[in-house]
Amino acid sequence: MTMGKPRTRRVLVTHNSIAPSAVALLNAHDIDVFFSPPYDPPEVVAARMADLQPDALMVRQGRIDASVIGGSDRLRVIVKHGVGVDNVDLEAAAARNIPVLRSLGSNALAVAEHAIALMVALLKQFPRLDTAVKAGEWPKPSFIGRDIAGARLGLIGFGAIGRETARLAGALGMSVTVYDPHAAGGVEAAGLASTDSLEALVADIDILSLHCPLTRETRDIVNAGLIARMAPRTLIVNTARGGLIDEAALAAALADGRIAGAGLDSFANEPPSADGPLWTAPNLIVTPHVGGVTAGSAVTMAETAARHIISVLDGNPPDARSLALPASLAA
C-alpha cells in the first residue's frame, strides 16, 4: 500500500507492482493501491478482497472467478492490465453489474515485436544451431537457411496487435494474408490480402501467427484438422492466448515433423505443467507470456488501466469500446 494519509477509495492489483506513474495517478485521484501476489489461488485473492473491500480490481495475473468478484461489496469496476480477459469470469461480473474493461492498444507494438522475434528465430533455426555449436558440432556444411524476405505469413486476427505484426512483417519483406471475419474492411484498407476461409489461409503459408481473442468460437482454432492442411514447412507462432491451440495436437505434429516448428508465448494453463507433451517436441521455442511486457508497454498498460478505474469511480460510464462482454469472450 502507498504510504501517507489513507484515501477514501481502494484498488487491488493482482501482482506485486505496477508502474509508479500509475500509482501516482491513482493516488492523485483519492485511490489507495494494494497488491496481491501474482497467481495466488482465487480463494486467497477472494479473502484479500473481503478484507480490503476495494472499489476496483486491476487484473494482471491469476484467475479471477466469482468468489474473487463477490469478495468486495464495494467493487464497481474490474480492469485488465492488458487486453486478454479469458482469466476473468465475465458472466459473474455481469451478474453483479460490474464492468470489465481492457487496456486496448497499450501493448500492441510490444506483442507484435515478440511475434516477429519468434518468427525470425524459427526461420533462422537459432535454437537448433545454438545447441549444436555449444555441443561441439559444426553444421555449416549441411545447413541451408530460410529467407525472411518473401516468406508468406498468415494472420488469424487483425486487431491492434495483428495490424502492428503485419506492418513489421511487411517491412521485413514478408507477404501477409489475413483471416478475420470481423475486420474485412480494415484488411483491405491496409492494402493486405484477406481470405474468408481458415483452410485456405493455412494451405500455402510459411508462418501462421495468432492475434485473435480467446472466445467460444476460437478455442482450439488450431487443431489437428487444421494442422493437417498445413505444409510441412509451416511454423506456428502464438503470442495471443494459449487456448487457441490444441496443445496435444501441436506436440504430435512437431514430433512427427508434420510442421517445421512453433513459437509459443502463451499456454492453455499458466504456468503450464512441467510434464506436458510440448516439452519433448523438437524445434519449439517458448517464453512465459511476456510478449506484452516491455518497459514502455508496462507504463502504458498501467496508466490506461488506472484511467479506466478513475473514470468509473468518478461516476462516468465505462468506455464502451473497451468493455469485455460475456456474450462474445470466453471466461
pLDDT score of 327:
63
Using CA atoms, how far apart are residues 321 and 8, in angstroms rounded to an integer? 29
> For the chain, how far is it from start to end, CA to CA, in angstroms?
29
Mean pLDDT by 10 residues, the chain (331 residues): 74 97 98 96 98 98 96 98 92 97 93 98 95 97 96 97 98 98 87 96 97 93 98 98 97 97 96 92 94 94 97 97 76 42
| Rounded to 5°, angle at Cα 244 from 328 and 172 | 110
Query: 273 CB contacts (<8 Å, ≥6 apart)?
Result: none
Active-site residue, from 102, 211, 241, 307? 241
Active site residue 241: yes
CA atoms within 13 Å, Cβ hemisphere of 15: 12
Is residue 288 a contact partner of residue 271, using CB atoms and an 8 Å limit? yes
Going edge to edge, which strands form the sheet with 193-194?
193-194, 175-179, 152-156, 207-210, 235-238, 261-264, 284-286
pLDDT score of 2:
46
Per-residue pLDDT tens over the stretch 139-177? 999 999 999 999 999 999 999 999 999 999 999 999 999
Query: 68 CB contacts (<8 Å, ≥6 apart)?
Result: 42, 45, 46, 49, 57
> Grid coordinates standing for 127?
535454437
Active site residue 289: yes
Using CA atoms, how far apart are residues 202 and 155, in angstroms rounded to an integer? 9
Active-site residue, from 9, 10, 102, 289? 289
pLDDT score of 1:
47
